[in-house]
Each structure stands twice: as C-alpha cells, then as structure tokens.
Structure 1
C-alpha cells in the first residue's frame, strides 16, 4: 500500500460495500482500509483521516469515533444525512459531507419509473406474461393515464425540480409544495404552480411524489389525514425516506382503497420484516405439514409485502453505474479537501 497517501476507512469491497471501480477511484488519493482490516489491526486507527460512508456502513458509533483520533471527515455517499449527528460530530472536530446534485438525475428517473410502472401496472403485466398458467391476456388490466394528469411534488429541491422537468415531458400539470417558493424563472421553466399549503396540493394531484430530506419536521409528513385528502384514484410515490410516511396509515389507505396505489423506493425498515420458513433436513415433521404452516406464518410479514396495489424497490434510486462513479468522485474530492485543510465543497452544516 502507498504509505504516502492519507488513510481512509470503508466498509468493504464488494458485497454491501463499494464496487471495485469505486475503490479504484479512492485509491488514486487514499490508502484504503476496510473495516475488517481495521478490526484485525487496531494500530491503523491513528492513521485514518476520512471515513467513506456507504449505505450507513460502517456504522458511525461512539466507539468507532473514539478510536479514530485523526479523523477529519465523514464523507457520506448520497444526500440524506439523517443517520448522522452533524452537530455532535462537528463539536468533536469532525466534518460531514454529502453528494448533492450528482444523484438528482438518477433519483428523478427512478421517481418517474415508479410512477409509470404503477400507473400502467407494468409489474402486474409482467407477472401475467410469465405465469405458466397464462393462456390469454385479460383486457381488464386497465392502467391510469399519465399524459395530461396532475403531478404534485412535495419537496422542490434539486431532485424535485428534475422530477418536474420529466413530468413536463409527459404534458403533466405540475404542482409543488416546498418550504421556500422557487424563483419565477424556475416555475416558468417547468410550468409549476406553487402551493403554500400541501393539503390543497394533495386534493388536486393524481400523483404525489415525495422528494424531501428526512428531518424532525418531515418525519410522518404523510399520515392518515394527508392520505384521506388524496383522490381515490391517486398514487403516492416515495423516493425520499421511509419515515416520511406513516406506514400503518399507508397500509390502511391501500387496503381501504382510500388511494389507488403506492410506489415506494424506500420503506422503514429496509428491507421490510418478513417471516422466513426454513425446512431443516433433520426435521421429523412431514413436508406437507410444514408447507401449510409456512403459509400461515406469511401473514406475519409486513402487510405492504402482499398488497396488490403497491410496488416496492430496494432503495435503488441512485443505483446506476454512472451515478455511483460520480458520487464516489465527489466523496473523494471532499476527502482530499478535508485532509489538505481546504474548504470542503459539499460540507453539511448542523
């Protein structure tokens, strides 16, 4: 390993960690130490100046922080930093950065993909087509028209604006609610109408897309009241964080057809809890008694896993090769600035 480079800690290479291409980018400026290597060789702790955080791994716990006396920066992959206590870390002299803007296009694409898949029932159609029992296609598989419908965006930051641009391409009427109103020029660019009151937006939108950061103010932003205001033909799309939505209220709304559907790239927790039946080879139970028991246990899965009017994807809004490379390069740029004592381009303030 190059001894003249500053050291950076990562979770792992491959698996749930960084792809090799991302690690190769890091190695241009840093000596990379995996969490496992760190645990096996604690003497490395005094050398680590940056932690590259990916999918909240390695977990930033007090024990880890206290063991890294030279740590200057936690470089988070992605925009959301709700898993980090920014103020506390800064009080310890540790900065935090994220990767805004570079994730916007991929995340906005995911929002529109979920919207289209739900509206046109693409997943259900696929399952019909690959079902071995299908001999003809039902003509009752009616979807919802996207072109010309009303898109309501809650959270009109960089990602929200990109979603509006895509909605404009489908001739959608764009409504938005945000803490701060966008400029006249921004509104004109996408034909967006500002709603200071989100409840009014919920009443009018055919599709409601959530694109907010998770904060104390946005936790539980969509609950029983908000869902009850939406049209019975409306769809909720969430590409922000699972905790933004009261999931119990969402389950009830979907079951009772208070709203038509939901399309979720995020849930809480991730993945949703489920019962896993394991058939042990040394089990004395008859195979045919175990299978019905497993079927009964499935009822203990999270209800969202079995509702026909919901699509769930594995928090993959930023998961494209090009976006991951851009995210990692941004993380590295932030890390280099921190090590060199320069202004960190994407530092997150408390």
Structure 2
C-alpha cells in the first residue's frame, strides 16, 4: 500500500525537473520581440560614443533654449573702453573689438545657429524624402525625370548657389530685412541646395523596399499607391534617412557659419557663431580669443552631431560589427 500510494503521488505531482523546465521556458514565451528601432536603442545605450554625443547635444539644446540661465550679460552691449581685452574673471572669454562680452555672445549665438541647422535639416529631409519616395516607387520616366532634376542641384557649387538664391531674396530690399526674414532665407537656401542627397538615399531605400513580399501582397490586395507608400515603404525606408539627417544637422550648422562669415547669411543684430568668426578675421593676432571661443563651440557642436549620426548608423546597420 505504501508503494502504490507513493506511485500515485508521483504521478499526480509534477516532478522538479518539469517545474524547472517550465520555469526556464516561460520567460522565452512571454518575452516580446524587439523591432529594428528597439534593437537599435538597446545597442545605442551601450555605446560610449552615443552617450557622450547625446549629453553634449542636450547641453547645447538647453543653452539654445534658455541662454539667460548661462549668461546674464546683454550680448549686444558695447563698452569700447574694454575692446579686445583678454579673458578675465569679469569676462570669461574676454571682449571683442566693440567691447561686447564674448561669453554672452557665444551663449546667445547657439540659438540662431541651432535653429537654422534644425529647420534646414527638416526642409531638406522632408523635401528630398518625398521626392525620393515618389521616384523610387513609381520608377520609369518619373524616376528618371526626378533624378535628372536633382542632379542639377548636385552639380551646383554650394557657395555659388547660395549667392544666387540669397541675392534673389534680397533684391529690392532696402535696409535690414529683419531677423526672422533673414533666418528664413538662410534655411530655404540650405534646404534647396541640400535636398538631393536625402532624395537619393530615400530613393535607393524605396527601390529596395518595393521589391519585398509585403509590398507585392499589398498591391495584390488592391491597396492604393498612397497607402503602399506611406504605410509600407516609408516606415521601412526611413532609417538611412534618419542617419543622414543627424549628421547633416551638424553640417548645416557649419554651413550657416560659412554663409555668415562670407556676409551672405545672418547679420547683425543677430548673434551667431558665424558672425562672431567673421568679426574676428581682422584681429587674429592681436585678439585671438575673438576667434577661439566661437570656433571652439562651433566645432564641438558639429562634432557632437556627427558622432551621434555615426553611432545611430552603426546601430541601425546590421552589417556593422
């Protein structure tokens, strides 16, 4: 009786090995599968390059949004008695040729430079992505015509194109056109000259995506072209464009500084790093601090966005090791 009771008990009660195996397999059954962006975010959090660049960009964005928290002085106040004075406890970065506090101007200059970079990137990426989607999806004469049209802008030197566009904008305008108008002109100029790059990236991704089975299935079910483009092709083609946009944002900030240095972009009373660098060109040897600090902030900002773009590219590209 004792043996038979123990046998019945062993049949009714699950064994320890069964419980352990069920416990071991349960997490695998309930674990959610991560998508492309989930895996990318998981990988990015482990990359020191991403963390360092993200911290730098976050600090720069806070400075651009709230410059008064970091510099209480007016960036346009002129004290000619202190013109070109070296850095000191009173003015950490010294004074420029008009006696303006360089530290305050560097802090306040971050706003204009970053705003131009962000909106230029949005314009170039949105315009280029839309044209690239249409050309890559429809192909044929549509793709050929749009590609030839993009090559016109690709073959145009940036500085020459900027001179032509900005001169056209400013034709017939007397005096200072206003801060918002000037910034809009610079944004449109950069966007018009830079959109073909994102167009080519999106076009290549769209051509690859439209060959996939899920797109063919959607066509077989009678889905409209708009639904296929925006519901199926766009979500699976946006990753390389996002990588380009991250890197391009830093490049466009540098382009704004280039245009301002040449006198084609932003102008006083707007405060930007490009204007500060332009003001320092006649005082490179007598007052090198006028060039050093705005150039340093410009280089750090561009480098931060380029490093962020490199980290995002490595995380999104499964071929990278």
TM-score bin (small chain) = under 0.3
Q: Which has the higher strand share?
A: 1
Q: Report the TM-score when normalising by structure 1.
A: 0.24
Q: Report the TM-score when normalising by structure 2.
A: 0.25
Structure with the larger RCO, 1 or 2 (CA within 8 Å, 6+ apart): 2
